[in-house]
Amino acid sequence: MAQLNRVIGLPGLCLYGIGVTLGAGIYALVGEIAGLAGLYAPWAFVLAGTLAAFTGLSYAELGSRYPESAGEAAYLAHGFKRRWLTAAAGYGVALSGSISSAVVLHGFAGYLGELVPLPGWIAIIGALAILALIAIWGVRQSIVIAGIITLVEAGGLILIIAVAAPGAIAAPPPVDFGPVPWSGLFAASVMAFFAFIGFEDIANMAEEVRRPRRTLPLAILITLSVSSLIYLAVAWVSVRALPPEVLAAEGGPLAAVFEHATGLNGDGIAAVALLAMVNGALVQIVMVARVLYGLAKRGLAPAALGAVHPVRRTPVWATLAAAGAIAIFAMSGALGPLAMAASTVTLLVFSLVNAALLALRLRREPAAPESFSVPILVPAVGLTVSLAVAAGAIVTSL
């Protein structure tokens, strides 16, 4: 039987992780966070990045211990040895990824409709068909395309930092930060936490990664570090360039920052955001297909989803199933509630992953000598944080 193609190295895996973590969200998210936290918006990203790092480190150890597709399902299988829990985690990740991709494609279609008179459903189905064909074409090709778009996407953010930083540095002190808006800062940190979701997708590429016990942990740590630095810098220059209330009112806040800093039209930045949406959808299709493939290998999904094309070395039926699920969600009219549900499911999966590592460590389960390891405090804090952020997200959405 054909196997997945083990061709991904550290640079490709990092670009994959950074691409899905940065995503298109930051291009709009910074305005909402500034509206909640004001000039303290950068601190919301610092806090969220610090909290996300605990779960990231847990994923790093588990990915190194058990480098398998459907990573979360594998971790729970080893941690709790309960098939129903293993299946719930795997399908939860697949569901969350499908909904996230649907939300992104829906936004892509809406924005494209402003530029080209094209019905939304045609834009969604057309983009999804192209992305599914790329995913089927080969993992090397998918990673290369996603990596190129990631470089453009990160380049757009770095360009904004570069053009806005001189004005931010030269801003006449002192800046009146005022009292810390604690409730707003907490709500902003919860929102910023979602900007870091995506690093976990790296774990599901394990069976296509060279030297996964070493490469997976490094890619997760690099992804979180690079994303944190970019988010912090973007938030800092943004709240220094424009008042937080102005940023919050902008549909494209980073385009507004660019226009303010340069006097040039910000359509180019908006186009980069459009590319970022396509990239996020491509990465999620690839990830969801690997989760379904991994579940099929464990006997928790139809066997056909575990089939690998003998030439392309990709899970064709799993990819088509992922694309079909995404299409159904994208055509639904309840994307807002679905997106919140997907985020909550992701946080609950984070909680289970941390709990699985905690259980393994308390049982003193042996690991391969070359496996990455973290202090036992890490999964304990990661579990607490994930549950707290899930509760905070539910409360703030009510």
Q: What does the pLDDT look like over 184-241, one tens digit per residue?
A: 888 888 888 888 888 999 999 999 999 999 999 999 999 999 999 999 999 999 998 8
Question: Which of 30-34, 65-69, 118-122, 344-348 has the highest mean predicted lDDT (pLDDT)?
Answer: 65-69
Which domains occur in the chain, in start order? 10-397 (1.20.1740.10)
Structure confidence by residue, pLDDT tens digits, 70-123: 899 999 999 999 999 999 999 999 999 998 888 888 878 877 776 778 888 899
Question: Cα(44)–Cα(383) distance, rounded to whole angstroms?
Answer: 20
Strands (E) located in 158-281: none
Q: Look at 273 and 212; give whichever has higher pLDDT.
A: 212
Phi, psi angles (nearest 5°) of residue 209: -105, 135
Interacting residues of 267 by C-beta distance below 8 A, sequence separation 6+: 255
Find the mean pLDDT for residues 59-70: 94
pLDDT-derived band at 176 (thresholds 50, 70, 90) equals low
The share of the chain scoring above pLDDT 90, in percent, equals 58
Instruction: Report which of 91, 90, 63 is spatially closest to residue 357, judged by C-alpha positions.
Output: 63
Query: Does the structure show a pLDDT above 60 at 243?
Result: yes
pTM above 0.75, yes or no: yes
- Identify which of 309, 328, 305 has the alpha carbon closest to the alpha carbon of residue 318: 305
